Structure 1
Amino acid sequence: MKDGKEILKRLSFLDFREDEYASLVASRSSNPFETLVATVISQNTNDRNTMRAMKNLKERLGYLTPEKIMELSDEELEELIRPAGLHKQKAKYLKLIAERLSGGALEEILSLETEEARDRLLEIPGIGPKTADVLLSLMGRETIGVDRHIARVSSRLGISDGSYEATRRALMNIFDKKDYLRAHLLLIKLGREYCRPRNPRCGECPLRDICDFSHSLKPGDSD
Protein backbone atom coordinates (compact mmCIF):
# COMPACT_ATOMS: atom_id res chain seq x y z
CA MET A 1 0.00 0.00 0.00
CA LYS A 2 1.23 3.47 -0.87
CA ASP A 3 1.94 5.91 1.97
CA GLY A 4 -0.46 8.85 1.77
CA LYS A 5 1.59 11.02 4.11
CA GLU A 6 4.70 10.48 2.00
CA ILE A 7 2.81 11.30 -1.19
CA LEU A 8 1.51 14.58 0.23
CA LYS A 9 4.96 15.45 1.59
CA ARG A 10 6.48 15.00 -1.86
CA LEU A 11 3.73 16.99 -3.55
CA SER A 12 3.80 19.86 -1.06
CA PHE A 13 6.10 21.90 -3.33
CA LEU A 14 3.40 22.14 -5.99
CA ASP A 15 2.16 25.70 -6.13
CA PHE A 16 -1.53 25.92 -6.92
CA ARG A 17 -3.85 28.88 -6.85
CA GLU A 18 -7.48 28.69 -5.81
CA ASP A 19 -8.53 30.09 -9.18
CA GLU A 20 -7.27 26.88 -10.80
CA TYR A 21 -10.24 25.08 -9.23
CA ALA A 22 -13.63 26.56 -10.09
CA SER A 23 -15.51 24.51 -7.50
CA LEU A 24 -13.10 25.58 -4.78
CA VAL A 25 -13.60 29.24 -5.72
CA ALA A 26 -17.38 28.73 -5.61
CA SER A 27 -17.17 27.11 -2.18
CA ARG A 28 -15.72 30.33 -0.73
CA SER A 29 -19.16 31.88 -1.18
CA SER A 30 -20.47 29.66 1.65
CA ASN A 31 -23.35 28.82 -0.68
CA PRO A 32 -23.50 25.03 -1.19
CA PHE A 33 -25.82 25.39 -4.17
CA GLU A 34 -23.34 27.67 -5.95
CA THR A 35 -20.63 25.07 -5.31
CA LEU A 36 -22.85 22.38 -6.77
CA VAL A 37 -23.68 24.47 -9.85
CA ALA A 38 -19.99 25.17 -10.47
CA THR A 39 -19.16 21.49 -10.16
CA VAL A 40 -21.86 20.50 -12.65
CA ILE A 41 -20.77 23.19 -15.11
CA SER A 42 -17.11 22.12 -14.76
CA GLN A 43 -17.78 18.71 -16.28
CA ASN A 44 -15.81 18.15 -19.50
CA THR A 45 -14.31 21.62 -19.58
CA ASN A 46 -11.52 23.58 -17.95
CA ASP A 47 -11.75 25.81 -14.89
CA ARG A 48 -11.27 28.99 -16.89
CA ASN A 49 -14.37 28.27 -18.99
CA THR A 50 -16.30 27.19 -15.90
CA MET A 51 -15.56 30.48 -14.17
CA ARG A 52 -16.67 32.45 -17.24
CA ALA A 53 -19.99 30.64 -17.15
CA MET A 54 -20.31 31.16 -13.39
CA LYS A 55 -19.55 34.87 -13.80
CA ASN A 56 -22.40 35.12 -16.32
CA LEU A 57 -24.80 33.36 -13.96
CA LYS A 58 -23.90 35.46 -10.94
CA GLU A 59 -24.08 38.73 -12.85
CA ARG A 60 -27.56 37.76 -14.03
CA LEU A 61 -28.90 36.19 -10.83
CA GLY A 62 -26.78 37.41 -7.94
CA TYR A 63 -26.89 34.91 -5.07
CA LEU A 64 -27.57 31.57 -6.74
CA THR A 65 -30.56 29.57 -5.57
CA PRO A 66 -32.56 26.71 -7.10
CA GLU A 67 -35.55 29.01 -7.43
CA LYS A 68 -33.60 31.56 -9.48
CA ILE A 69 -32.30 28.86 -11.82
CA MET A 70 -35.85 27.61 -12.33
CA GLU A 71 -37.06 31.10 -13.24
CA LEU A 72 -34.71 31.28 -16.22
CA SER A 73 -35.90 30.07 -19.58
CA ASP A 74 -34.05 27.10 -21.00
CA GLU A 75 -32.65 29.32 -23.74
CA GLU A 76 -31.33 31.99 -21.38
CA LEU A 77 -29.72 29.45 -19.07
CA GLU A 78 -28.07 27.75 -22.01
CA GLU A 79 -26.67 31.05 -23.24
CA LEU A 80 -25.35 32.04 -19.83
CA ILE A 81 -23.37 28.83 -19.43
CA ARG A 82 -22.37 28.49 -23.09
CA PRO A 83 -18.67 29.28 -22.37
CA ALA A 84 -18.36 25.97 -20.52
CA GLY A 85 -19.52 23.87 -23.46
CA LEU A 86 -22.25 21.20 -23.60
CA HIS A 87 -24.52 24.05 -22.58
CA LYS A 88 -27.81 22.41 -23.60
CA GLN A 89 -27.10 19.24 -21.64
CA LYS A 90 -25.79 21.09 -18.59
CA ALA A 91 -28.72 23.52 -18.61
CA LYS A 92 -31.14 20.58 -18.68
CA TYR A 93 -29.44 18.99 -15.69
CA LEU A 94 -29.23 22.27 -13.77
CA LYS A 95 -32.98 22.69 -14.17
CA LEU A 96 -33.62 19.14 -12.91
CA ILE A 97 -31.24 19.66 -9.99
CA ALA A 98 -32.81 23.00 -9.11
CA GLU A 99 -36.28 21.46 -9.14
CA ARG A 100 -35.21 18.68 -6.78
CA LEU A 101 -33.33 21.01 -4.44
CA SER A 102 -35.78 23.88 -4.15
CA GLY A 103 -37.22 24.83 -0.81
CA GLY A 104 -34.09 24.14 1.22
CA ALA A 105 -33.72 20.49 0.18
CA LEU A 106 -29.95 20.79 -0.31
CA GLU A 107 -29.45 22.10 3.21
CA GLU A 108 -31.55 19.19 4.50
CA ILE A 109 -29.40 16.70 2.58
CA LEU A 110 -26.18 18.26 3.85
CA SER A 111 -27.41 17.88 7.43
CA LEU A 112 -27.25 14.08 7.04
CA GLU A 113 -24.27 11.81 7.67
CA THR A 114 -21.82 11.81 4.76
CA GLU A 115 -22.71 8.49 3.11
CA GLU A 116 -26.44 9.08 3.50
CA ALA A 117 -26.09 12.59 2.06
CA ARG A 118 -24.05 11.12 -0.81
CA ASP A 119 -26.76 8.54 -1.54
CA ARG A 120 -29.43 11.25 -1.58
CA LEU A 121 -27.41 13.41 -3.96
CA LEU A 122 -26.85 10.48 -6.30
CA GLU A 123 -30.62 10.06 -6.64
CA ILE A 124 -30.80 13.41 -8.44
CA PRO A 125 -30.42 13.38 -12.25
CA GLY A 126 -27.28 15.25 -13.27
CA ILE A 127 -25.38 14.50 -10.06
CA GLY A 128 -22.91 11.65 -10.46
CA PRO A 129 -20.40 10.28 -7.95
CA LYS A 130 -17.67 12.81 -8.75
CA THR A 131 -20.02 15.78 -8.46
CA ALA A 132 -21.44 14.50 -5.17
CA ASP A 133 -18.00 13.81 -3.70
CA VAL A 134 -16.53 17.15 -4.78
CA LEU A 135 -19.47 19.02 -3.24
CA LEU A 136 -19.31 17.04 0.00
CA SER A 137 -15.55 17.36 0.34
CA LEU A 138 -15.74 21.12 -0.16
CA MET A 139 -18.38 21.18 2.56
CA GLY A 140 -15.86 19.59 4.91
CA ARG A 141 -17.09 16.00 4.60
CA GLU A 142 -14.87 12.93 4.60
CA THR A 143 -14.79 11.80 0.99
CA ILE A 144 -12.58 12.26 -2.07
CA GLY A 145 -13.79 13.20 -5.53
CA VAL A 146 -12.12 11.30 -8.37
CA ASP A 147 -11.82 13.28 -11.59
CA ARG A 148 -10.03 12.10 -14.73
CA HIS A 149 -6.66 13.35 -13.51
CA ILE A 150 -6.94 11.59 -10.16
CA ALA A 151 -8.15 8.38 -11.81
CA ARG A 152 -5.12 8.41 -14.14
CA VAL A 153 -2.65 9.20 -11.36
CA SER A 154 -4.15 6.51 -9.11
CA SER A 155 -3.96 3.91 -11.86
CA ARG A 156 -0.37 4.73 -12.79
CA LEU A 157 0.80 4.80 -9.18
CA GLY A 158 -0.79 1.43 -8.59
CA ILE A 159 -3.22 2.73 -5.96
CA SER A 160 -6.27 1.53 -7.88
CA ASP A 161 -7.11 0.49 -11.41
CA GLY A 162 -10.73 -0.28 -10.75
CA SER A 163 -14.07 1.49 -10.78
CA TYR A 164 -14.76 4.99 -9.55
CA GLU A 165 -15.85 3.65 -6.18
CA ALA A 166 -12.84 1.33 -5.87
CA THR A 167 -10.51 4.26 -6.54
CA ARG A 168 -12.34 6.52 -4.08
CA ARG A 169 -12.14 3.89 -1.35
CA ALA A 170 -8.46 3.17 -2.06
CA LEU A 171 -7.60 6.86 -1.76
CA MET A 172 -9.62 7.21 1.44
CA ASN A 173 -7.66 4.29 2.87
CA ILE A 174 -4.20 5.71 2.25
CA PHE A 175 -4.80 9.37 3.15
CA ASP A 176 -5.73 10.71 6.58
CA LYS A 177 -9.28 12.03 6.77
CA LYS A 178 -8.08 15.55 7.52
CA ASP A 179 -6.06 15.50 4.28
CA TYR A 180 -8.76 14.34 1.86
CA LEU A 181 -9.39 17.73 0.22
CA ARG A 182 -5.69 18.59 0.06
CA ALA A 183 -4.96 15.20 -1.51
CA HIS A 184 -7.72 15.79 -4.07
CA LEU A 185 -6.29 19.17 -5.10
CA LEU A 186 -2.64 18.05 -5.20
CA LEU A 187 -3.36 14.92 -7.20
CA ILE A 188 -5.23 17.00 -9.76
CA LYS A 189 -2.26 19.37 -9.96
CA LEU A 190 0.11 16.42 -10.38
CA GLY A 191 -2.06 15.02 -13.16
CA ARG A 192 -2.16 18.33 -14.97
CA GLU A 193 1.53 19.16 -14.76
CA TYR A 194 3.40 15.86 -14.59
CA CYS A 195 1.20 12.79 -14.99
CA ARG A 196 -0.28 13.98 -18.27
CA PRO A 197 -2.31 11.65 -20.54
CA ARG A 198 0.29 12.03 -23.28
CA ASN A 199 4.01 12.63 -22.82
CA PRO A 200 3.98 12.34 -19.01
CA ARG A 201 6.95 14.01 -17.34
CA CYS A 202 7.97 10.87 -15.47
CA GLY A 203 11.64 11.83 -15.29
CA GLU A 204 10.75 14.96 -13.30
CA CYS A 205 7.87 13.54 -11.26
CA PRO A 206 8.36 13.63 -7.47
CA LEU A 207 6.65 10.22 -7.21
CA ARG A 208 8.58 8.45 -9.98
CA ASP A 209 10.36 5.99 -7.67
CA ILE A 210 7.09 4.75 -6.14
CA CYS A 211 5.10 4.71 -9.39
CA ASP A 212 4.27 1.42 -11.11
CA PHE A 213 3.87 3.14 -14.48
CA SER A 214 7.27 4.86 -14.24
CA HIS A 215 8.93 1.56 -13.37
CA SER A 216 7.40 -0.07 -16.45
CA LEU A 217 8.89 2.47 -18.86
CA LYS A 218 11.91 1.87 -21.01
CA PRO A 219 14.56 4.59 -21.38
CA GLY A 220 13.28 7.34 -23.64
CA ASP A 221 9.59 6.44 -23.25
CA SER A 222 8.81 9.72 -21.48
CA ASP A 223 10.39 13.16 -21.25
Structure 2
Amino acid sequence: MDFSGAYSADHLIYLGKGFIVTLEVAFISIIFSFIIGSLVGTLRYADIPVLSKIMAVGVETIRNLPLLLIIFFTYFALPEVGIQLSISLATIAALTVFESAMISEIVRSGLSSIPKGQIEAARASGLTYIQTLWHIILPQGLKRMIPPLVSQFISLLKDTSLAIVISLPELLHNAKVIYNGNVNYVTPILLLTALMYFVVNYMLSLLSLALERRLDRDGKIKIAS
Protein backbone atom coordinates (compact mmCIF):
# COMPACT_ATOMS: atom_id res chain seq x y z
CA MET A 1 0.00 0.00 0.00
CA ASP A 2 1.26 3.44 -0.94
CA PHE A 3 -0.72 6.14 0.89
CA SER A 4 1.60 9.01 0.06
CA GLY A 5 1.52 8.28 -3.66
CA ALA A 6 -2.21 7.57 -3.68
CA TYR A 7 -2.98 10.85 -1.93
CA SER A 8 -0.93 13.07 -4.22
CA ALA A 9 -2.38 16.48 -5.09
CA ASP A 10 -3.29 15.41 -8.63
CA HIS A 11 -5.11 12.32 -7.39
CA LEU A 12 -7.04 14.23 -4.74
CA ILE A 13 -8.09 16.87 -7.28
CA TYR A 14 -9.19 14.13 -9.69
CA LEU A 15 -11.21 12.42 -6.94
CA GLY A 16 -12.71 15.78 -6.00
CA LYS A 17 -13.89 16.34 -9.56
CA GLY A 18 -15.53 12.92 -9.54
CA PHE A 19 -17.16 13.68 -6.19
CA ILE A 20 -18.61 16.92 -7.56
CA VAL A 21 -20.13 15.00 -10.49
CA THR A 22 -21.60 12.48 -8.03
CA LEU A 23 -23.17 15.25 -5.93
CA GLU A 24 -24.49 17.13 -8.97
CA VAL A 25 -26.11 14.04 -10.51
CA ALA A 26 -27.53 12.96 -7.14
CA PHE A 27 -28.88 16.44 -6.31
CA ILE A 28 -30.63 16.90 -9.66
CA SER A 29 -32.04 13.36 -9.53
CA ILE A 30 -33.30 13.89 -5.97
CA ILE A 31 -35.12 17.10 -6.93
CA PHE A 32 -36.84 15.62 -9.99
CA SER A 33 -37.62 12.26 -8.41
CA PHE A 34 -39.08 13.91 -5.31
CA ILE A 35 -41.35 16.14 -7.38
CA ILE A 36 -42.50 13.34 -9.69
CA GLY A 37 -42.69 10.73 -6.94
CA SER A 38 -44.73 13.02 -4.67
CA LEU A 39 -47.16 13.81 -7.48
CA VAL A 40 -47.59 10.16 -8.47
CA GLY A 41 -47.89 9.04 -4.83
CA THR A 42 -50.53 11.67 -4.08
CA LEU A 43 -52.53 10.83 -7.19
CA ARG A 44 -52.41 7.14 -6.32
CA TYR A 45 -53.57 7.94 -2.79
CA ALA A 46 -56.48 9.96 -4.23
CA ASP A 47 -57.53 6.71 -5.98
CA ILE A 48 -58.62 8.35 -9.21
CA PRO A 49 -60.42 5.75 -11.36
CA VAL A 50 -58.32 4.27 -14.18
CA LEU A 51 -55.45 6.76 -13.69
CA SER A 52 -54.48 5.30 -10.31
CA LYS A 53 -54.52 1.78 -11.76
CA ILE A 54 -52.30 2.78 -14.67
CA MET A 55 -49.87 4.51 -12.32
CA ALA A 56 -49.83 1.48 -10.01
CA VAL A 57 -48.84 -0.79 -12.89
CA GLY A 58 -46.09 1.60 -13.97
CA VAL A 59 -44.72 2.01 -10.46
CA GLU A 60 -44.68 -1.70 -9.70
CA THR A 61 -43.02 -2.47 -13.04
CA ILE A 62 -40.21 0.04 -12.46
CA ARG A 63 -39.72 -0.97 -8.82
CA ASN A 64 -39.14 -4.57 -9.86
CA LEU A 65 -36.53 -3.77 -12.51
CA PRO A 66 -32.80 -3.53 -11.72
CA LEU A 67 -31.57 0.07 -11.75
CA LEU A 68 -28.61 -1.06 -13.83
CA LEU A 69 -31.00 -2.23 -16.55
CA ILE A 70 -32.71 1.17 -16.59
CA ILE A 71 -29.32 2.90 -16.89
CA PHE A 72 -28.43 0.65 -19.84
CA PHE A 73 -31.81 1.35 -21.42
CA THR A 74 -31.56 5.14 -21.19
CA TYR A 75 -28.03 5.23 -22.58
CA PHE A 76 -28.01 2.42 -25.14
CA ALA A 77 -31.66 1.75 -26.10
CA LEU A 78 -33.12 5.26 -26.34
CA PRO A 79 -30.77 6.27 -29.20
CA GLU A 80 -32.37 3.44 -31.21
CA VAL A 81 -35.62 5.45 -31.21
CA GLY A 82 -33.92 8.77 -31.85
CA ILE A 83 -33.38 9.96 -28.27
CA GLN A 84 -29.68 10.59 -27.73
CA LEU A 85 -28.67 11.51 -24.18
CA SER A 86 -25.28 12.40 -22.80
CA ILE A 87 -23.82 10.16 -20.11
CA SER A 88 -24.85 12.60 -17.37
CA LEU A 89 -28.39 13.08 -18.68
CA ALA A 90 -28.85 9.33 -19.19
CA THR A 91 -27.80 8.72 -15.59
CA ILE A 92 -30.07 11.46 -14.24
CA ALA A 93 -33.00 10.16 -16.32
CA ALA A 94 -32.48 6.57 -15.14
CA LEU A 95 -32.12 7.55 -11.49
CA THR A 96 -35.13 9.87 -11.68
CA VAL A 97 -37.39 7.20 -13.20
CA PHE A 98 -36.31 4.53 -10.71
CA GLU A 99 -36.33 6.71 -7.61
CA SER A 100 -39.64 8.37 -8.54
CA ALA A 101 -41.28 4.95 -8.36
CA MET A 102 -39.73 4.29 -4.95
CA ILE A 103 -40.62 7.71 -3.57
CA SER A 104 -44.19 7.52 -4.87
CA GLU A 105 -44.72 4.40 -2.80
CA ILE A 106 -43.26 6.10 0.29
CA VAL A 107 -45.59 9.09 -0.21
CA ARG A 108 -48.64 6.92 -0.85
CA SER A 109 -47.92 4.78 2.22
CA GLY A 110 -47.31 7.85 4.37
CA LEU A 111 -50.60 9.42 3.37
CA SER A 112 -52.47 6.13 3.77
CA SER A 113 -51.16 5.78 7.33
CA ILE A 114 -53.29 8.70 8.52
CA PRO A 115 -56.45 7.42 10.28
CA LYS A 116 -59.58 7.71 8.16
CA GLY A 117 -61.42 9.17 11.15
CA GLN A 118 -59.42 12.39 10.89
CA ILE A 119 -60.31 12.72 7.22
CA GLU A 120 -63.99 12.16 7.92
CA ALA A 121 -63.93 14.70 10.75
CA ALA A 122 -62.27 17.29 8.52
CA ARG A 123 -64.79 16.75 5.74
CA ALA A 124 -67.64 16.93 8.24
CA SER A 125 -66.34 20.29 9.47
CA GLY A 126 -66.70 21.72 5.97
CA LEU A 127 -63.21 21.30 4.51
CA THR A 128 -62.95 20.27 0.88
CA TYR A 129 -60.96 17.17 -0.11
CA ILE A 130 -58.02 19.34 -1.26
CA GLN A 131 -58.10 21.37 1.99
CA THR A 132 -58.20 18.16 4.01
CA LEU A 133 -55.26 16.77 2.08
CA TRP A 134 -53.22 19.96 2.48
CA HIS A 135 -54.01 20.89 6.08
CA ILE A 136 -54.69 17.53 7.75
CA ILE A 137 -53.15 14.62 5.85
CA LEU A 138 -49.92 16.05 4.41
CA PRO A 139 -48.53 17.64 7.62
CA GLN A 140 -48.93 14.38 9.53
CA GLY A 141 -47.88 12.16 6.65
CA LEU A 142 -44.73 14.22 6.03
CA LYS A 143 -43.36 13.43 9.47
CA ARG A 144 -43.77 9.72 8.82
CA MET A 145 -42.23 10.02 5.37
CA ILE A 146 -38.99 11.75 6.41
CA PRO A 147 -36.98 8.69 7.57
CA PRO A 148 -37.76 6.51 4.53
CA LEU A 149 -37.35 9.47 2.16
CA VAL A 150 -33.90 10.29 3.52
CA SER A 151 -32.95 6.61 3.34
CA GLN A 152 -34.05 6.61 -0.29
CA PHE A 153 -32.01 9.74 -1.02
CA ILE A 154 -28.96 8.09 0.56
CA SER A 155 -29.51 5.04 -1.63
CA LEU A 156 -29.80 7.31 -4.66
CA LEU A 157 -26.48 8.96 -3.93
CA LYS A 158 -24.80 5.58 -3.58
CA ASP A 159 -26.52 4.30 -6.71
CA THR A 160 -24.79 6.98 -8.81
CA SER A 161 -21.78 4.64 -8.65
CA LEU A 162 -23.65 2.22 -10.95
CA ALA A 163 -23.14 4.72 -13.76
CA ILE A 164 -19.53 3.55 -13.85
CA VAL A 165 -20.79 1.02 -16.41
CA ILE A 166 -21.42 3.85 -18.91
CA SER A 167 -18.24 5.71 -17.87
CA LEU A 168 -19.83 8.60 -16.01
CA PRO A 169 -16.82 10.41 -14.48
CA GLU A 170 -18.22 10.19 -10.95
CA LEU A 171 -16.36 9.40 -7.74
CA LEU A 172 -16.01 5.62 -8.07
CA HIS A 173 -15.10 5.88 -11.75
CA ASN A 174 -12.29 8.32 -11.01
CA ALA A 175 -11.12 6.19 -8.10
CA LYS A 176 -10.93 3.19 -10.42
CA VAL A 177 -8.89 5.19 -12.95
CA ILE A 178 -6.37 6.09 -10.24
CA TYR A 179 -5.85 2.63 -8.75
CA ASN A 180 -5.79 0.98 -12.16
CA GLY A 181 -2.55 2.86 -12.70
CA ASN A 182 -0.92 1.35 -9.61
CA VAL A 183 -2.13 -1.65 -7.61
CA ASN A 184 -0.55 -0.17 -4.47
CA TYR A 185 -3.18 2.58 -4.58
CA VAL A 186 -6.20 0.27 -4.37
CA THR A 187 -6.68 0.21 -0.59
CA PRO A 188 -5.83 3.90 0.11
CA ILE A 189 -8.06 5.17 -2.71
CA LEU A 190 -10.99 2.92 -1.81
CA LEU A 191 -10.71 3.93 1.86
CA LEU A 192 -10.82 7.61 0.92
CA THR A 193 -13.71 7.01 -1.48
CA ALA A 194 -15.66 5.20 1.24
CA LEU A 195 -15.01 8.08 3.65
CA MET A 196 -16.33 10.63 1.15
CA TYR A 197 -19.53 8.66 0.63
CA PHE A 198 -19.92 8.19 4.39
CA VAL A 199 -19.54 11.88 5.24
CA VAL A 200 -22.28 13.00 2.83
CA ASN A 201 -24.67 10.22 3.78
CA TYR A 202 -24.09 10.79 7.48
CA MET A 203 -24.88 14.49 7.01
CA LEU A 204 -28.15 13.50 5.31
CA SER A 205 -28.98 11.28 8.30
CA LEU A 206 -28.34 14.18 10.70
CA LEU A 207 -30.57 16.41 8.57
CA SER A 208 -33.32 13.80 8.80
CA LEU A 209 -33.07 13.73 12.60
CA ALA A 210 -33.15 17.53 12.77
CA LEU A 211 -36.28 17.69 10.61
CA GLU A 212 -38.01 15.04 12.70
CA ARG A 213 -37.24 16.95 15.91
CA ARG A 214 -38.53 20.16 14.41
CA LEU A 215 -41.73 18.47 13.34
CA ASP A 216 -42.15 17.02 16.84
CA ARG A 217 -41.72 20.49 18.32
CA ASP A 218 -43.70 22.60 15.88
CA GLY A 219 -46.06 20.15 14.23
CA LYS A 220 -44.88 21.39 10.84
CA ILE A 221 -41.69 22.60 9.20
CA LYS A 222 -41.08 26.31 9.57
CA ILE A 223 -38.91 28.22 7.14
CA ALA A 224 -36.39 30.37 8.96
CA SER A 225 -36.71 34.04 8.14
Which TM class, normalised by the smaller chain length? Answer: under 0.3
**Relative to total residues, which structure has the larger helix share, 1 or 2?**
2
